[in-house]
Amino acid sequence: MAKMRSYAGTVGAFLVDKADFCVFRFQPHAEGSHEHAFEKQSISCVLPRKGVRESDALLIKGYWRKHEQYGWQFWVMDYSPTMPAGAEDIQMYLAAGHIEGVGPELASRLVKRFGDRTMEVMQSEPVALTAIEGIGSGKADVIHSHTRHLVKLQGIHRQLADWGVPAATTSKLVAKYETSAPAVVRDNPWRLMKDYGDTLKAADRVAALSEVVGTAKRMTAIAEASLGHYRQQAGFKMGYSITELHNTVQQVFPGESVNWADALPALSLLTLDDETYLIEPENAAKLQAMLGSPVRRSSITYKTEGTA
């Protein structure tokens, strides 16, 4: 098995930018740990999804793989944002507009004066920023505040990464919820399945690492995903056979069980001729009128053989 490696550095030019993957150049920091000389140079990285931009400062994790045509490539399995290190990387990072109020011209002035300490000064010494032409006290406060906020968000990225949240999902969570992202995840780790397309295995891992116990929420996520899969296969219907839904659960989540009445309380269950159907709320009254059969709640639970 290939050895996992990690590098801190800066994203360079994109060589391939497709909907489901990208290939880009990455410049590792010179002071990092390198086993081979070529690791100090710009390396070719493959990311099996989108989510990074040119000039992003990242910590990437993955493994080396040799392509028959393109040679050695680093396959990125996970990544998290960091602050750039080194004057050249800092200037490129700032020029790309990562910090509010700082563009290419101001980035050049900042780095010219503060060099490798530029990010540190922006984060901790707002008064020192006013020595730069074009930065008054008001703008210095904006730059200082935005830099501190960015550092805080990077801490959120690391926390979610420690919980096992996939990097692409983490980026979306932080973009939407910012500092509230950890609370959103801990409230219901299984929402990652519905909201971001993550797997049950990934959601379970996040729940375990973030020390969340939520049997009911987990079952609801399985029920929603199974119903969604069934609809994709069979289309929308007036009602869905519980037997067929049970089979779908076993197809998508082998060994799992669902109490449909508890998992999806907004829906109704209709029992007709010894078969029970899951009914959308807007269809319950229609079916009851058509069939003359009462729509009622049920506590039917299908379990796999050998379960209690």
Q: Which residues of 159-175 are buried (b: 16+ CB within 10 A; e: fewer)?
A: bbbebbbbbbbbbbbbe
Average pLDDT in the 133-145 region? 95
Task: Report pLDDT for 85.
Answer: 86
Task: Report pLDDT for 48.
Answer: 85
CATH H-level superfamily of 87-155: 5' to 3' exonuclease, C-terminal subdomain (1.10.150.20)
What residues does each domain of the chain span? Answer: 5-80, 87-155, 163-209, 235-302
The model carries a pTM of 0.77
Decide if pLDDT at 236 tops 80: no
Residues β-bridged to residue 259: 301
Q: Do domains 5-80 and 87-155 have the same CATH topology?
A: no
CATH H-level superfamily of 5-80: Nucleic acid-binding proteins (2.40.50.140)
Task: Classify 99 as helix, strand or coil.
Answer: coil
Q: How far apart are CA 226 and CA 220, in angstroms?
A: 10
Tokens (6 digits) for 86: 């080194």
Task: Count CB-CB contacts under 10 A for residue 221.
Answer: 23
Average pLDDT in the 186-211 region? 95
Average pLDDT in the 181-185 region? 97
Decide if pLDDT at 301 tops 60: no
Greatest CA span in the chain, whole angstroms?
83
Percent of the chain at pLDDT exceeding 90? 65
Distances (CA, A) of 153 to 135, 192, 241: 25, 19, 46
pLDDT band at residue 274, thresholds of 50, 70 and 90?
confident
Residues β-bridged to residue 199: none
Task: Report pLDDT for 36.
Answer: 52
Tokens (6 digits) for 300: 């039917």
Task: Report pLDDT for 108.
Answer: 96
What DSSP letter does each residue of 214-244 carry, written as one string? -HHHHHHHHHHHHHHHHHHHH---SEEEHHH
Name the DSSP letter for residue 3.
Answer: P
- Strand segments, DSSP code E, in 143-267 are 239-241, 258-259
Decide if pLDDT at 293 tops 70: no
pLDDT per position as a tens digit, 96-110: 999 988 999 999 999
pLDDT band at residue 292, thresholds of 50, 70 and 90?
low
